[in-house]
């Protein structure tokens, strides 16, 4: 499974890159606003840190507007994936960009039917929002399982990019189902390291080592 950082904070992206966990980055207008920086400048700097896909989202709602914005965004770097909403105009844009060899991340997916038509439009990635489904009483992981089955039935190359990740178990469950990518805030990705027994084991080893009075080097 690939891990994408769902953030626009450069220091966090660098930290994840140093751990070896970073396979790509997803951004959106809300994350850019939170980072408090210029959108184009931020995406350009992210492209100096990772060669993996970087999702940059259009804000236009009509096809022509999306295409104009996509033309600007995909010139930033070769690894830009244009992020479009799962609407009629969004999928028109997806089809046009995919036909031209541009990576496309279709976002705001909440049903298997939406995932199916995004794949038919040539999406590189489909972003189902599992946390937001959980919020309204649905099991987000059921959607991931349904999409995995449909894509496997027809050999769609579209990668399942699990989004709206709220905790580490979302990532683990998605990996068990066979999702291709999980995008999550830095805090959640770093929580994958954590287990109290690991901490207890380190403390015990250090205590025993100190009792020997020895030193390494």
Residues annotated as catalytic (active site), given as ranges: 83
> How does 30-47 read in b/e, with b if 16+ C-beta sit within 10 Å?
ebbeebeeebeebbeebb
187, HSE (Cβ side, Cα atoms, 13 Å)? 3
Please state, in angstroms and rounded to a whole number, the distance separating the CA atoms of residues 21 and 3.
6
Of residues 40, 77, 55, 78, the one with CA closest to residue 2: 55
Helices (H), strands (E): how many in the chain?
11, 8
Partnered with residue 161 across adjacent β-strands are 181
Cβ contacts of residue 208 below 8 Å, gap of 6+?
Answer: none
DSSP 124-165: SEEEEBHHHHHHTT--HHHHHHHHHHHHHHHT---EEEEBS-
């Amino acid at each position: 499974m690939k891990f994408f950082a769902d953030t626009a904070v450069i220091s966090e992206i660098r930290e994840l890159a140093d751990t070896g966990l970073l396979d790509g980055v997803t951004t959106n207008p809300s994350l850019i606003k939170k980072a408090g920086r210029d959108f184009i400048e931020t995406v350009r700097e992210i492209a100096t840190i990772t060669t993996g896909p970087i999702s940059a989202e259009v804000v236009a709602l009509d096809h022509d507007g999306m295409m104009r914005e996509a033309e600007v965004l995909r010139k930033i770097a070769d690894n830009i994936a244009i992020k479009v909403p799962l609407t009629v105009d969004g999928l028109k844009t997806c089809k046009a960009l995919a036909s031209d060899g541009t990576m496309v991340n279709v976002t705001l997916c909440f049903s298997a039917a939406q995932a199916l038509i995004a794949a038919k439009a040539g999406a590189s990635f489909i972003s189902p929002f599992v946390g937001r489904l959980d919020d309204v009483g649905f099991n987000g992981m059921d959607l991931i399982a349904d999409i995995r089955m449909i894509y496997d039935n027809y050999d769609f190359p579209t990668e399942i990019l699990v989004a709206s990740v709220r905790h580490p178990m979302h990532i683990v469950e998605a990996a068990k189902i066979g999702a291709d990518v999980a995008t999550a805030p830095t805090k959640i990705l770093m929580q994958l390291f954590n287990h109290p027994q690991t901490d207890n084991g380190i403390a015990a080893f250090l205590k025993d080592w100190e009792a020997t009075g020895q030193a390494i080097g």
